[in-house]
């Protein structure tokens, strides 16, 4: 065998071995974990997609009631950011020393909803106290922001004492929406943004605007150590993210009565 042929065979063998060897380790993808109130589900999914496309970061979104998420964070859940539906749960986490930074983002509004067709002829909040309604759905008024706000709205109308025994309290506001959409109850009180995503409910009456409906975004102490999380915290305050929130029906704080 000629020297040239021998070198070619050795070279091809080395190339073949190189092609069979496993690839080297790739750089790990940066990740962040965002906890968000259930009413923020659709808006946050869109914001997360926009952020991931722009920054190449894997953002893990977990949605539930603000009370559930806050308690999970208190017990060590690995959240970098938390978007709550009220400021009270922020205060709880601040007292526990778990919040590095915070900003108030948007507001919302409560509405009375009924199943499409309104077979129970519910037309006003006062009908909740009538014989037309034996049960109606709201988020848990003992801890879930949407339920706390609903209770307060009914108290302002002087209705709470008359209807409290009819309340079917749910884990979060999306569950209340689902009960009405499935016609399991004749009415419910949810955010306007939630009612807007369902074709199976009708809005009967908006409640008076409540300036205390505020969605604060928190960067946790854990997230403060994560550069992509800090970047997402800033992104949520950008005009792009604000536009997405407005598109989904949330209200800017500066014009929320």
What residues form the annotated binding site?
A: 39, 66, 146, 173, 191
Known binding positions for molybdate: 39, 66, 146, 173, 191
Question: 101-111 burial, b if ≥16 CB within 10 A, otherwise e?
Answer: ebeebbbbbbb
Which phi and psi angles does 223 have, rounded to 5°? -65, -30
Strand partners, 61: 34
DSSP 132: T
> What is the C-alpha separation between 14 and 215, in angstroms, rounded?
61
DSSP letters, 180-238, are HHTTSSS-EEEEHHHHTT-SSEEEEEEPPP-TT--EEEEEEHHHHT-HHHHHHHHHTTS
């Amino acid at each position: 065998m000629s020297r040239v042929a021998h070198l070619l065979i050795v070279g091809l063998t080395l190339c073949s071995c190189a092609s069979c060897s496993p690839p080297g380790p790739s750089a790990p993808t940066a990740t962040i974990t965002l906890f968000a109130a259930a009413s923020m589900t659709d808006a946050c999914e869109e914001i997360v997609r926009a952020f991931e496309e722009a920054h190449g970061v894997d953002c893990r979104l977990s949605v539930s009631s603000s009370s559930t998420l806050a308690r999970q964070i208190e017990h060590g859940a690995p959240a970098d950011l938390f978007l709550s539906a009220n400021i009270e749960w922020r205060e709880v986490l601040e007292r526990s020393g778990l919040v590095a930074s915070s900003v108030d983002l948007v507001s919302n509004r409560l509405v009375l909803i009924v199943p499409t067709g309104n077979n129970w002829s519910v037309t006003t909040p006062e009908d909740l106290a009538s014989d037309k309604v034996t049960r109606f759905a709201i988020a848990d008024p003992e801890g879930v922001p949407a339920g706390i706000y609903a209770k307060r709205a009914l108290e302002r109308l002087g209705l709470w004492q008359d209807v409290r025994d009819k309340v079917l309290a749910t884990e979060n506001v999306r569950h209340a929406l689902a009960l009405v959409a499935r016609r399991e109850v004749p009415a419910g009180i949810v955010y306007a943004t939630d009612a807007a995503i369902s074709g199976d409910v009708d809005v009967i009456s908006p409640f008076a605007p409540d300036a205390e409906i505020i969605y604060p975004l928190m960067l946790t102490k854990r997230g403060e150590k994560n550069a992509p999380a800090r970047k997402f915290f800033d992104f949520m305050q950008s005009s792009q993210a604000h536009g997405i929130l407005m598109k989904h029906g949330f209200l800017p704080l500066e014009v929320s009565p």
